[in-house]
Amino acid sequence: MQDESVHTPKPSLTDLLFVIFLRIVAVTGLWLGLQFWALLVGFSQNGAGRFDLMTIPWRVAATSLAVVFPVASIGLWMTVSWGAVIWTIGALAQLAMHLGWPGIFGPNMLIVLMHCVIALVYLAFRLALFLEWRRKEEVRLDLP
């Protein structure tokens, strides 16, 4: 006879904080995506940034990021691995825009700093989760 109750392990504090962090980044990514959509349709900058008034580099960047960030937000909210991958693509694109081509896109150190801080915190969480998993594996190996 099978046990009908499912025994799921209780998530650690690090797991819970990581999920909260991912969801905060998801909301931030959604906000960035909405800003790009507002730019494209002429809602922001008093219509001066509409798609038909943009230069070609801005058209490519804005349309790409208007799609990338909301998709990344969905993945981050669901805490699936592809969410972080898609966010990384968007973050690297914005870093390239504002650090690699500041003459075209303008320097925006706030966005650069935000993406760098998010990446460092994400890596710190992944390291903490790996060390926690490794510690649990060591404890399991010691059992008779």
Alpha-carbon span 56 to 69, nearest angstrom: 20
Average pLDDT of every residue of the chain: 91
Rounded (5°) CA angle 59-64-70: 135
Instruction: Label residue 137 by pLDDT band (50, 70, 90).
Output: confident
| DSSP secondary structure string for all residues of 7-21 | -PPPPPHHHHHHHHH
Can you say how many angstroms the Cα of residue 137 is from the centroid of all Cα atoms in its chain?
Answer: 29
Instruction: Label residue 48 by pLDDT band (50, 70, 90).
Output: confident
Alpha-carbon span 84 to 109, nearest angstrom: 22
Please check the confidence at residue 4 and state whether its pLDDT lies above 90: no
Q: What is the pTM for the complete model shown?
A: 0.85
Structure-block tokens of residue 31: 């906000």
